[in-house]
Structure 1
Amino acid sequence: MWKVFQIYKNDWVNVFKTPIALFLIIALMILPSLYAWFNLKASWDPYGNTSHIPIAVSNADEGAVLRDRNIDVGKEIVNTLKKNNALGWTFVSEKKASRGLEHGDYYATIYIPKDFSKRITTLLDAQPKKPEIIYSVNEKINAIAPKITSKGASTITENVSSNFVKTVSKAVLTEFNKIGIELQRELPTILKMENLLFELEKHLPDIQDMGNKALEFEKKLPEIRKQGQKIIALEKMLPEINQSSKQILKLEDKLPELKNIGNEIVTLQTKLPDIQKAANKVTEIDQHFDTIQKGIQTALDDTAKAQKIIQAAQGSMPKVEQVVGNGKEMAAAANDFLNKSEATFASMIPIVKQNLLLLKQTADTVNGLTNSLKDNSINPESALQMSQALDEQLTNGINEINRTIEMFTRINENMPNKPLTGVIQKLGDTKAKFEQQLSLVRKIEVPLKEGKQPNSQLISQLNQTSQQASELLNNILDRYDSEIAPNMTEGYKKLIQVAKDSVSVLNTAKEKLPDIKQILQDSAKAANFGYDRLEQLQQDLPDIEKKVHETVQKIQTVMPKVVQGVNAAANFFHNDFPKLEPKIHKAADFVRNDLPGVENDIRRVAELIRTKLPEVEEAAHKIANLVRNDLPNLEKAVKNAANKVRKFNNEENLGDIIELLKNDINKESDFLANPVLLKEHKVFPIPNYGSANSPFYTTLSLWVGALLLISLLRVDVENRESFYSPYHEYFGRFLTFATIGLFQALIVTLGDLFLLKAYVADKVPFILSGIFISFVFMSIVYTLVSIFGNVGKGLAIILLVLQISGSGGTFPIQVTPPFFRAINPFLPFTYAINLMRETVGGMVHDLVIHNILFLLLFLIIGFALGILLKKPLAKHTEKIAELAKKSKLIH
């Protein structure tokens, strides 16, 4: 035995001789407690801090009217929640709440629909509808939060229901109370009615005689009613007759307009062949669309050739400038360069026209967009895409107009009469319109990006500006071939002629060469602009072809119907309208002259029938029906009522009933709203969640402490074979581990009590239980590692994982899957946690003894395994450890 204590003594001597070892041992004593303390502090009172859990509340309730009283239950709920700090209520719009829920800004949302109050008022309907509060929760954020937020939502519905019952019952009892007061006030009248009832009972035979006379009069009513109904029916038709008469007068007033419309229809009929020709032209375009595609491709090829010619001319420019500088060689070189430039300029004339056509197409496209926005025939998303494309086209168009103006200006400066001045001014006006269009398009893009319709004034302004730009370009294009192109050619030829005047005009040539060079640059940019736009047009051509084809199909479908309708309208105007016009005038004269007098006579007679005959008829029918149907029952009812009144007066006291109806309204309504009160009695009260969790986390930290020890400290002893047996080693080193475990238990339990201020009903048993549990856990973990080495460490970790889930430390074991319920009785944690719970909440001694006995059983099993298996498996375990060390990774 002394060898066991010698191992124990040597361990502590070595520890105190090595400061770093002493520091490590003290750290191992404290570290497990930190695991428990941090977890306990983090979960100390989670249900007391639920006011920080954000829940979005959206109220769309529109309120309702109940018996001339406005009610808004949604607003009342919001006002109540603003005073409630149980959860972090945040009041936002439905859209913001939905987005916040998806992005994790809110754990849940409460949505009060717009018909919430209206549904509550259906209580008085034949089929009442229960109001709904829509509760949405994001369960992926946290596992516990949905349960807390669900409780908050349930509380809202419970409060609303309770207040609703209380309000309704109070209203009903108030009515009862009013009835009681009214009965008391009317008691003399009730007594008087009793006497009248008895008097009526005496005169029943006289009433029967009068009823027989009423039956005879009723037989004559059908004929009177028949004649009267005819006049009534005619009077009911007077508004329609009057309305029709007004329409006749309006029709008479519109006859000149109808004639004009008829003439327009006849004119349209004469234009039908032209319209059909236009439709045929569209059809022909659709049929020959491949020719258009070829034409665009040809234009692209020609533009590409022009680009090459311009590039060749630009490539010659440096040589020309060099030759000009050399003096004598300038004339020949200049002539050669200018001859090349003539071909370049000749190719530029159609390109400039082509670019002007593309600019007009851009203006027309803007016009088309504005028409679509006016008609609401395009959605904001498509309009935005189209406007963004136009933004780029307008910007490029402005740049191209600038280049064209510069080129025309240079040519115009070399001509005596400045014939291109007017064209340059119109291009400047066109540029201004394009800049206005660009500004307006960008303004329109702002609401389109928000999915809204742009301002109608902006659309009209853009439409007007695009039309003006298109008209300006039309004017330029109409004059291009006849005026502009010849002037361009003439101006360029004059510029070339000046340069060709040999060496004597060298200085003049030097001055003009920069202009020619700039014109070439402008021509190159114009060619590039035209090529890019033609290339884009070629890409868009399939869509254009599709739209043209759809248009042709619509024309082919609708055109026959249009032609048929126009022909039918024209035939009506020729044949039937002349006959109809005199009849309309005759009817209008009757409406103006005779109809008012007829209306007055009909209304007078009808009013007499309505006011007098129905009264007589109703009275006769009532009396007759009473005689036929109700008089026998009335006689019987009067007699029964008289008998019941006599019986009631003999058996009941009306004064007592009145007093019952006048009881306290508030007390009775409160009783109906809350008929049952829940009286809570806590057998073992624990004030907070952290204290209730201290048994689990304290127990868990003790097992973790044992795992830390076996991970960092050795379980074997040096010089074991020469001096110590396996059993000496087992018990000697165990005492060292148990001593450290003792301090771990003391630190964690005392820290729970004095650092965290955890509630513990029995403090000393709490500390002693922690020490005892630490001893048991240490025996199990130490034995596993001492016998099985690194395999034992793995087994200790597996046991930890199983015990966390299967011990019932956090959730009741009854709610866990069957596997964990099955292993629960065989886990040390089960009895350790239960023992600690007894000391925290208040001890029941038989339960304490039960848990201690089972822990002693685990302690005995641990020592028994150590005694039985330590020696037989010692060499085996050592061999496995040596093999593991060869990996130079496992110690």
Structure 2
Amino acid sequence: MKSLSVFMKDLGAALKNPKVLIPMFVVLFIPVLYSGLFLKAFWDPYGKMNELPVAVVNQDKGALYEGKQLTAGSDLLNELKKTDGFQWEFVSREKAEAGLKDNTYYMAIVVPEDFSAKATTLLDAEPQPAKIIFEPNEGYNFLAGQIGGSAVKEIKTKVSAKVTEAYTNSVFDKFTEIASGLGEAGDGATKIADGASKLDDGAVKLEDNLLLLTDGTGKLLSGVEPLTKGVADLNTGAVAMESGTTTLADGLQKLSVAHQQLKDGVQQTADGSKQLSNGLQQTVAGTVKLQAGTQSAVDGTVKLQDGTHSVVEGSVKLEAGLTSSVDGSAKLEAGIKASADGSVKVTEGAKAVAQGLQQLAQSNPQLAASPDMQKLLAASKTVAAGNEQLLQSQQQLLQGATALHSGQEQLLQGATQLYTGSQQLDAGVSQLHDGAQQLNAGSTQLLEGQQKLAVGATALEAGGSKLAAGMTEFGSKLNEAAAGGTKLADGGKALEAGTSKLLSGVDQLGSGISTVADGSKKLANGAGELKNGMDELKSGSNELATKLGDAAEQTSAVNKSDSMVQMFAQPVEIEEHKVNEVPNYGTGFAPYFLSLGLFVGALICTLVIPMRESEVVGASRFNRFISRTLSFSMMSLLQSLLAAFVLLYGLGLEVHNVPLFLAFTFITSLSFMWVIQAIVTWLDQPGRFVAIVILIFQLTTSAGTFPLELIPNWMKFFNPLLPMTYSVRGFKAVISTGDYSVMWRDAGTLAIYGLVFLAFTFAYFMTRDLENEAVMKSEQVLTV
């Protein structure tokens, strides 16, 4: 009781002394000033963001996308006008730069002129992101720039969603086109499958026809061999015919010369007979000349007879050669006709192959693009064109062979007539020879008798006239025969040249047919491979048609709606479940600023309340300890209650439990007060400096603002050693989390701090008397 009386006397003395009472009253508001004013200033800074001036510049020129005008910059401005996040001021670029320089604006947001243009490159091979230029005026206020950065990120998200909505609308429109295209592709694939079936049938027919073509070319090649042999025989006969006709022409030329001489002799004979008739005086001389002439005639007729025999023999050879030539030309005509018929079939087959391959290429663009298919198509066209040319050449050859056969038949008829005429000529020459011999005998008889001369001369004159007429006619026929022989020789030469060319053509024909045979075999093999490919194409096209139909059905099931477009534009939505929600900045910082205010309030109390003295003279050490401790404890109670009530009912701080909040506030204040009391009691003025240093370390290590993990590692060492760490955590528990076990545990830790330092204060009072305190004070004054 005596200890309480000392406290009451000290309290009464303080209340009666305005110099002590007023400072004590002011000190009570120190925690309120620290915690209340700080928290009020930052209670909800985002609630007044609409008063923070921000410049917005729109330089976007817009762009065309899928035939529609995209104005992302204007859309951004419209979105900003709907929100009150900042005090938006839509200005020019120049005004924004000037406002940043004179600190009119805390930040500027600039939409470049290519903002919409770059937004349309999303689906390009190298898309370019649309940029929003953010220019914070950090020198003017750093936190404003940080807050603006967060706001710009939110703006970016909204603009990105708008741009994505435009792309999504375009993509869903494309889905409709894709579904239609897939349906058409499915129909096309069905037609491809039908065409593949037809091509498969055509490939079978093509393979069969190519086998027939191969067989036909083999037969044609076999038929060309006798044709080649016949043409060779024809060429040999033509050579023999050329030799015979040349010999015949030479014989006829010689016969013509001999006939001219004979004609002259006959003319002379006629003249002599006339002269004989005119005068017997010249009979002897005439008979001599007649004998010489008749002898010459005999010799001439002998030569003429030899010539006619040569003509007969030549005509026989000519007729035999022409007969062989006619047979050869008939065989040639038959062979060429058979070859032409085979070529017609080959040409038709080659055309069918080329047309089939052309239809196949037109029905299947991928197959048409294949190099092997292009080579096969070109080869089939070349074979068709070559067979066409071969057919035309064979038709021309057939016409030439027909004309040759006809000409040789006519030539054979002429040779037959020549043979008949040469036989008649030979008979006439024989008669002429006999006549010449008789003439010679007559001339001899003329020499024998003059009486018979007149009769003989008359007969001679008559015979001479007939002979002259016959010789004239014979000469005409002989000239015609000579001209015919010359033409026959020329024809033989032409025939030999033609048969040589024909033989060369037949050789080329055989080589060409061999090539065609080889090509037809390769085509037949290719047709087999084509048949296999057609089977695969048929199967694949059926499967393609089925898959395309399924894809079209599934794609057409995608229906565009506003909710679906918004889902694509913003596929992720943040559903926030706050754990231990803190409604505003003031509530979040209350543990930190309240702890700071209570610590500062306790420190200021040491300036207005005596630390060691008592108004009671002669009070014991223990009574002074109790009086000073109760004084500081009472100040602690008043400070904590005043600060708590101002926060609860002045600022509207919401806590989980008000009584526990008041209790923890008092425990914190009392613990800080006892800690500072002990330090200042022991050290006096230096003790206050130590308390300030402790306060500074607590401000940086108590994790009241930033998380503990973000401070330097060497500072983390002080976190568990200082009491403010536990006061901040305890206030968070009772205000925000409601974890009362943490609060009570931290309250116990603070109580331990207070009791330990209270023990230090007790030790001071129990070890120091008033005289020692006076000496210490004098020493401190002298030191100062």
Aligned pairs for 1:704-723 within 5 A:
704-718=600-614, 723=618
Equivalent position SS for 1:682: coil
Aligned pairs for 1:478-557 within 5 A:
none
1:763 and 1:636 map into 2 onto residues whose CA distance is 91
Residue 772 (str. 1) matches residue 655 (str. 2)? no
- 8 A Cα contact 1:7 1:733, kept in partner: no
Residue in 1 that maps onto 2:655? 760
C-alpha change, 1:82 and 1:217, in structure 2 (3 Å) is farther
2:650 and 2:54 map into 1 onto residues whose CA distance is 34
Residue 172 (str. 1) matches residue 171 (str. 2)? yes
Aligned pairs for 1:267-278 within 5 A:
none
1:749-799 superposed Cα distances (whole Å, 9 cap, x missing partner): 111111111111111100111111111111011111111111111111111
Residue in 2 that maps onto 1:846? 741
User: Structure 1 counterpart of 2:32, which letter?
Assistant: S
C-alpha change, 1:67 and 1:663, in structure 2 (3 Å) is closer
1:729 and 1:797 map into 2 onto residues whose CA distance is 26
1:60 and 1:883 map into 2 onto residues whose CA distance is 76
User: Which structure 1 segments of 5+ residues have no match?
Assistant: 221-626
C-alpha change, 1:156 and 1:809, in structure 2 (3 Å) is same
CA displacement at 1:745 relative to structure 2:
0.6
Residue in 2 that maps onto 1:815? 710
2:721 and 2:161 map into 1 onto residues whose CA distance is 48
CA displacement at 1:184 relative to structure 2:
5.7
Residue in 1 that maps onto 2:94? 95
1:878 and 1:836 map into 2 onto residues whose CA distance is 42
C-alpha change, 1:781 and 1:130, in structure 2 (3 Å) is same
Tell me whether 672-681 or 708-717 shows the greater mean CA deviation.
672-681
CA displacement at 1:880 relative to structure 2:
4.8
User: Structure 2 counterpart of 1:784, which letter?
Assistant: I
User: Structure 2 counterpart of 1:826, which letter?
Assistant: L
C-alpha change, 1:56 and 1:876, in structure 2 (3 Å) is farther
1:839 and 1:697 map into 2 onto residues whose CA distance is 15
Residue 696 (str. 1) matches residue 592 (str. 2)? yes
CA displacement at 1:655 relative to structure 2:
5.5
Equivalent position SS for 1:856: helix
Residue in 2 that maps onto 1:670? 566
CA displacement at 1:12 relative to structure 2:
1.8
Aligned length, in residue pairs = 477
1:265-311 superposed Cα distances (whole Å, 9 cap, x missing partner): xxxxxxxxxxxxxxxxxxxxxxxxxxxxxxxxxxxxxxxxxxxxxxx
1:736 and 1:633 map into 2 onto residues whose CA distance is 114
1:848 and 1:631 map into 2 onto residues whose CA distance is 94
C-alpha change, 1:634 and 1:785, in structure 2 (3 Å) is farther
2:385 and 2:709 map into 1 onto residues whose CA distance is 85
1:530-555 superposed Cα distances (whole Å, 9 cap, x missing partner): xxxxxxxxxxxxxxxxxxxxxxxxxx
CA displacement at 1:151 relative to structure 2:
0.7
Residue in 2 that maps onto 1:468? none
Residue in 1 that maps onto 2:28? 29
User: Structure 1 counterpart of 2:649, which letter?
Assistant: F
Residue in 2 that maps onto 1:76? 75
User: Structure 1 counterpart of 2:577, which letter?
Assistant: H
CA displacement at 1:697 relative to structure 2:
1.6
2:528 and 2:572 map into 1 onto residues whose CA distance is 51
Task: Tell me: higher relative CO, structure 1 or 2? Use CA pairs within 8 A at least 6 residues apart.
Answer: 2
Aligned pairs for 1:13-412 within 5 A:
13-19=12-18, 21-181=20-180, 191=190, 194-203=193-202, 205=206, 206=353, 207=355, 211-212=377-378, 216=382
Equivalent position SS for 1:85: coil
Residue in 2 that maps onto 1:682? 578
1:656 and 1:81 map into 2 onto residues whose CA distance is 43
Residue in 1 that maps onto 2:778? 882
Equivalent position SS for 2:610: coil
Residue in 2 that maps onto 1:246? none
CA displacement at 1:662 relative to structure 2:
2.6
- 8 A Cα contact 2:42 2:586, kept in partner: yes
TM-score by length of 2: 0.56
- 8 A Cα contact 2:60 2:112, kept in partner: yes
- 8 A Cα contact 1:787 1:877, kept in partner: no
- 8 A Cα contact 1:8 1:736, kept in partner: yes
Equivalent position SS for 1:811: coil
2:536 and 2:100 map into 1 onto residues whose CA distance is 69
Residue in 2 that maps onto 1:859? 754
C-alpha change, 1:213 and 1:43, in structure 2 (3 Å) is same
CA displacement at 1:857 relative to structure 2:
1.8
- 8 A Cα contact 2:677 2:761, kept in partner: no
User: Structure 2 counterpart of 1:81, which letter?
Assistant: L
User: Structure 2 counterpart of 1:679, which letter?
Assistant: E
- 8 A Cα contact 2:190 2:542, kept in partner: no
CA displacement at 1:166 relative to structure 2:
3.4
2:572 and 2:719 map into 1 onto residues whose CA distance is 39
Aligned pairs for 1:826-841 within 5 A:
826-841=721-736
2:643 and 2:4 map into 1 onto residues whose CA distance is 27
- 8 A Cα contact 1:686 1:759, kept in partner: no
C-alpha change, 1:638 and 1:851, in structure 2 (3 Å) is farther
- 8 A Cα contact 2:31 2:598, kept in partner: yes
1:121 and 1:216 map into 2 onto residues whose CA distance is 53
Residue in 2 that maps onto 1:643? 539
2:28 and 2:640 map into 1 onto residues whose CA distance is 8
CA displacement at 1:176 relative to structure 2:
1.1
1:656 and 1:77 map into 2 onto residues whose CA distance is 38
Residue in 2 that maps onto 1:280? none
Residue in 2 that maps onto 1:784? 679
Tell me whether 667-676 or 630-639 shows the greater mean CA deviation.
630-639
CA displacement at 1:813 relative to structure 2:
1.6
Residue 743 (str. 1) matches residue 743 (str. 2)? no
1:218 and 1:69 map into 2 onto residues whose CA distance is 56
CA displacement at 1:858 relative to structure 2:
0.6
User: Structure 2 counterpart of 1:704, which letter?
Assistant: V
User: Structure 2 counterpart of 1:91, which letter?
Assistant: F
Tell me the percent identity.
25
1:677 and 1:737 map into 2 onto residues whose CA distance is 55
C-alpha change, 1:186 and 1:135, in structure 2 (3 Å) is same
2:760 and 2:532 map into 1 onto residues whose CA distance is 101
- 8 A Cα contact 1:788 1:877, kept in partner: no
Residue in 1 that maps onto 2:316? none
2:692 to 797, 804, 808: 797
C-alpha change, 1:824 and 1:639, in structure 2 (3 Å) is same
1:779 and 1:756 map into 2 onto residues whose CA distance is 28
1:137 and 1:632 map into 2 onto residues whose CA distance is 78
- 8 A Cα contact 1:789 1:877, kept in partner: no
Equivalent position SS for 2:583: coil
1:639 and 1:96 map into 2 onto residues whose CA distance is 76
User: Structure 1 counterpart of 2:739, which letter?
Assistant: V
CA displacement at 1:183 relative to structure 2:
5.2
User: Structure 2 counterpart of 1:54, which letter?
Assistant: P
1:400-451 superposed Cα distances (whole Å, 9 cap, x missing partner): xxxxxxxxxxxxxxxxxxxxxxxxxxxxxxxxxxxxxxxxxxxxxxxxxxxx
CA RMSD of aligned residues (A): 3.4
- 8 A Cα contact 2:625 2:761, kept in partner: yes
